[in-house]
Structures are given as C-alpha cells and as structure tokens.
Structure 1
C-alpha cells in the first residue's frame, strides 16, 4: 500500500497526487477510527469493486479527526489549532499508524491522509468530489448510508446521489446499515470503572422499555449504531472489553514506548513494562485486564510517515510477524491501568499509568522499545491494599485469571 500525506494550503486546496494517467479509482472517505466491523465492510466493498473495475482501491482519511478540530475552534473563539494543539488526541480509539496497518492488511492500494483544517472544511462537497474525480480519477465513490461531507455537512447521501446522476462522471455505491442495529450512548461519555470483578454487564439488559427510556433520559443518551466508534469508546470507558472487541472485530490496541518506572513491580516479583506518554489509542477505564504484550522493537518507523512503497512493505511485514499468534515477541499479559493506590501515601504520586506484566519464563529488557498492548477481558477494579504481601497475593490471582482466559 502506498501512503501519501497531503496538507491543504491556506485556501483549503489539497495537492492531490496523480495516481495514474489511465487507471481509475474506487474511493471511500472517512476517519476510520477504531477500524471496527462497519469500517471493514466498507473497505472490503471498495476492494471488491476495484478488482471488478480493474481500478485502484483508494482511501481518503482525515487526520486529525474533524470533530476534534471543530471542537477546538469552538472552544477558542474561532482560533485555528496548531499541530502542537492536536498532538495528542486522547479520545482517538486507534493511532493513524494502526489504521494504516489494518488497511494494508485488507489490500488497499492507496491511502491518502489529508490534514484536516478549517479552510479545507469550508469547501463544498461538490468541490471536494470534483477534485477526487479530476485529480485522482475517481469513478466510484463508496460510502456508508449515514455519510455526510463538505461545508455544513451538506453532502449527505441524497445530495451526493443527485450530483452523481446529474454529472454522470462517477457512481455512488452505498453500503447499507450493517451490524446488529442501534443502541443508546450518553452524549457526554464519563469513564466509570466497574465495582466488581469480572466482565461487566450491559446495564440495559435487564430493564424493560420504560426503564430503558428512563435510563436514556437520565444519561442524556443518543441513538447510535452498535457498530460505531462512539459505541466502542463508551464500552471501553465502562470496562466492557468483550463487547468492545466484538464491535471492533479484533482486540482493542494501544501502543507506546516502554519507559523506566519506580521498579516497584520488579521488587514484588512482577516486573512490568510501563508505557510513557504519548500513548497511541484510547486508554480504557482504570482496572486490571487480561491481554497481550507485543514487542515491536526499537526505532519502529511510523506507518503514517512512510512514503516509499518498498519501505512501507518492509515495515508492515515486520509488524505482522511480531503481532501474529505464536510470535516469539508476543506474551500473555496482565495489564494494569490507574494510579498506584497502595503506594500513593508513600510516594505522593497520582499519575495515571499503563503497566503490562508479561508472563514469560525469561527476563525481558524492553526499555525504549515500542510495544503494543492488546486487551481481551476486564479482570477487576483497582483496589488499595494495606500491605505489599496482600498486593502480591492478588497479583498472583490476576496472573492465573489472565492465563486461564487467554489459554481458553
């Protein structure tokens, strides 16, 4: 897959590359945060149509997320954010590099990453689609049924279909609603750690319709697709990892660089890999989880920064080898997220940290390595223990619980 990063000029014009002078393109557009099952269905449709039409499969992806840019502008009286302002997006489910990696696995030919700006956002959907037709040879546009684009989001499916029919220069292919339907999610998502051990239940499961309506009203909930980034973000904020992974179609992932911590875990017999800032991907609510720790090695190149096709292929092959089941760089893990309550009074530290204890027979020196943490199950909430001995006893239980789930 060839990756291009495109930065609009001050007037919002994107320097689109020429993909080919003869070969046309099947295109889709979006953010693809989380790369959930709905995204996968859309991209597989793009790939299928491209093969049928002997065209390129092309994804136009926005980074940063448009909602983050518009929120910043609203909160800062119209001031345009800088790259530094948007360097860390704590609400993004997945890093740009991970999205690119998964698109490459699906066999997409071209990924065009457009730096979203307010000048670009001011362009009409007619102008935007005209650019895709004229510059990259788009002949088929694939979108989900709720897609909107362009200034004031005026380009909905009906408007785009009318444009396609009026111009005759491209076709619109709509992927209808996929997945198990809809659910309700609070408009403002507030992380809430489960109070009991084990995977938490859906709070709406045992409520009748009247009680569900009351819950929805009290939480100011909105109707969203089950297969949506918003729903995944809510599930992760509540510790409902199994449900989140079911929507994603894969384990939720975060990535970061291993840094030196207090070495408290090593002293207790449970050495952990501590992730330093920034962390790529959405950090679930505080608690202890079962999952996997994967060593990606030192100086791993970012997918999103790769321009050369050969270099990207080498990097992708390296990552694929390391994350695959049975890889010698992949270990079952117990993952802790939160502050270290047992030692707070002693250390005075309340920093939220992500630590992964890899269950390995060998000593692992992962300092300064890039690592990947995959989550499979919520084990328990964080507790404060009176002594180190009580904490060690609980860590042994966590290790057993995690291994039982992962081996099962």
Structure 2
C-alpha cells in the first residue's frame, strides 16, 4: 500500500498515474460504519478495474475548524494504526491530507477540483454525513453539482446499532464508561492502544504479580480506569494478560494514571519493546485497599477471572 502526503500546494507529479475509486472520511476508529464505506469503494474499484484510494486527514478537523488545542484531542486510532486498518480493508493508496491554512480556507469547488477530480477519481464514495468544508455548502447531497459529471458520487447510508448511528462519538462514550465490549461491537474489532514498555515501581513483582508498565502514545484515548482482560502483541507473540488502568491509590493519593499489565505465563524481559494492547473485557472498577494483603487476594481473583474469560471465549 502506498501512503502519499498531500500538503497544499502539492505538486501533481507526486500523484500515481491511473484512475481510482476514492473513499473519503476522517475515519477515526475505522469502525463498522467506516468499514462499510471502504468496502463499498473496494467493490466499485474492482468493478471498474482500478485502484482503491482512501483519503484521510493529518489531524482532527476540530483543531483547525473549531480551534481545539491539539493536546486536547484524543484519537481512537492514530494515523499509523488507521493505515494498518486501511491496508487490511484492501486499500492500494492512502492520501493523508494536511489541514494547513491554505486548505482550511479553500472553497468547496476548488477542493473538489483538486482533491477529487484532480486525483483521477472515477467515483467518490463517502458516508451521508461527509463534508469537505462548511457543512451547509459542502455536503454529500450537493457534491454532484461540484463534480460536474467528472466522477460518480456514491453515498453510503450510515449503519445503525441498537437503533442509533454507529459513530466515533458513541465509541468514545463507551470507552469513557468502561464498556469496552460495546465499543468493540461498534468497532468490529478489539479496541487497541500502542505503547512501549517502560520501567515502573516494581510493585507488582513485590506482590507476586509482576507487570509490564506501558507508556501509551499520548494522542490515543484510553478506556476508563479499571481492570481488564487483554491480549498483548509483544516480541512477535500474542500474550494474554490482566491490565490495570489506574492510579494505584492503595499506595498513595494523587498518583498519575498508569497502565500495568500482568502477562499470563510469560516471564521474558521486554523493557523498551513496542506493544499493542487489545482490550477485551472490563472485569471490575478500581478499588482502594487498606493494604497489600487485600490487594493480593483481589489480584488472585482477577487472574482467575481473566483465565476463565479467555477459556470461555475460546470455547464459543
């Protein structure tokens, strides 16, 4: 898969030759609704015997259009992860469009001319709520007027789950509530975080439950505090574990949120290794214990619950 960064003004010489079908959206989370758009575009590309291209943005649109500070935006999927998901869905090309001042000020007709027709799109595929500038003058319902018969416009109706639209907003709400299973249902895969193993306080080892401390990319959204059944991709292996997102308040107040994972049946030294954490189920919320004894007893129950969860999951 070819990834091409488009920074306005871009030189057309960087564009691949040949026609494409172009799927449009920000695609944060690449959830089931987004997947429906990309799969519809893939089917159209096959029918036309051309490549599938997906266009996304280098930042959340709320940053340039609403003045939200970049550090205040948490993503369901950072760009690297989105690209992996795009590739799995069959994308041949990914266009990453930079939301610089020139692009933000661009009118809808110029955007369509340059970023749709100008990319040799035979067809444009997007969800019903896709916009390409100001919503009232640049939405899917009037895209055909700007297209001027140069490409076909294919609008994909949004998917529902429990009588509501599948959206990144609903997924964020589910994560904030610790409802990881519902978030996964809307995503169509297990929610992930990317990080690196860093040194911690060695507290877990002292308690008989050695953990890896994971520093997650600060751009990524975390599930709510609690104890979770997880799977961790690390040093080429997929290892089951129980993860804690919390502040370790049993050992003091005012501590920072950390992610600590007890990897089951795994004892390899993995400091500084990159990891991907798949979140499966929230087992319980965080509890402050009076001392180590109570915490150790609970950790034993958590391990049993984690093993039982994955055993049942394999049996289904």
* TM-score > 0.5 by shorter chain: yes
> Number of residues paired by the alignment?
311
Tell whether 2:259 aligns with 1:354. Answer: yes
Task: Select which of 79, 83, 89 maps to 1:96.
Answer: 79
Q: Aligned ranges for residues 112-131 of structure 1 at < 5 Å?
A: 112-131=95-114
Q: State the Cα deviation string for residues 183-236 of structure 1 (Å, max 9, x = none).
A: 4xxxxxxxxxxxxxxxxxxxxxxxxxxxxxxxxxxxxxxxxx2x1100000000
**CA drift at 1:386:** 1.1
Change (3 A) 1:252 1:89: farther
Q: State the Cα deviation string for residues 381-403 of structure 1 (Å, max 9, x = none).
A: 11111121111111111111111
Residue matched to 1:52? 47
| Structure-2-length-normalised TM-score | 0.93
Q: State the Cα deviation string for residues 233-258 of structure 1 (Å, max 9, x = none).
A: 00000011111100000000001111
* Greater RCO structure (CA 8 Å; 6+ sep): 1
Residue matched to 1:200? none
Q: State the Cα deviation string for residues 158-187 of structure 1 (Å, max 9, x = none).
A: 2102333xx21111011122233644xxxx
Q: Aligned ranges for residues 24-35 of structure 1 at < 5 Å?
A: 24-35=19-30
Q: State the Cα deviation string for residues 81-137 of structure 1 (Å, max 9, x = none).
A: xxxx73x56521112111100111111000011122243122122111111345321
Task: Select which of 65, 69, 74 maps to 1:70.
Answer: 65
Rounded to whole Å, the distance in 1 between the matches of 2:145 and 2:307 is: 55
Task: Select which of 222, 237, 251 maps to 1:283.
Answer: 222
Change (3 A) 1:133 1:285: closer
Q: Does the 8 A contact of 2:232 with 2:275 survive in 1? A: yes
SS at match of 2:158: coil
Q: Aligned ranges for residues 255-274 of structure 1 at < 5 Å?
A: 255-274=194-213
Tell whether 2:239 aligns with 1:242. Answer: no
* Structure 1 stretches lacking a partner, 5+ long: 76-84, 184-224, 298-321, 323-328
**CA drift at 1:147:** 1.4
Tell whether 2:261 aligns with 1:366. Answer: no
Tell whether 2:160 aligns with 1:179. Answer: yes
Moved over 4 A (4+): none
Residue matched to 1:390? 294
Q: Does the 8 A contact of 1:61 with 1:111 survive in 2? A: yes
Residue matched to 2:281? 377
Residue matched to 1:82? none
SS at match of 1:148: coil
| Structure-1-length-normalised TM-score | 0.72
Rounded to whole Å, the distance in 2 between the matches of 1:280 and 1:374 is: 17
Rounded to whole Å, the distance in 1 between the matches of 2:11 and 2:163 is: 38
Rounded to whole Å, the distance in 1 between the matches of 2:73 and 2:248 is: 21
**CA drift at 1:26:** 0.4
CA RMSD of aligned residues (A): 1.8
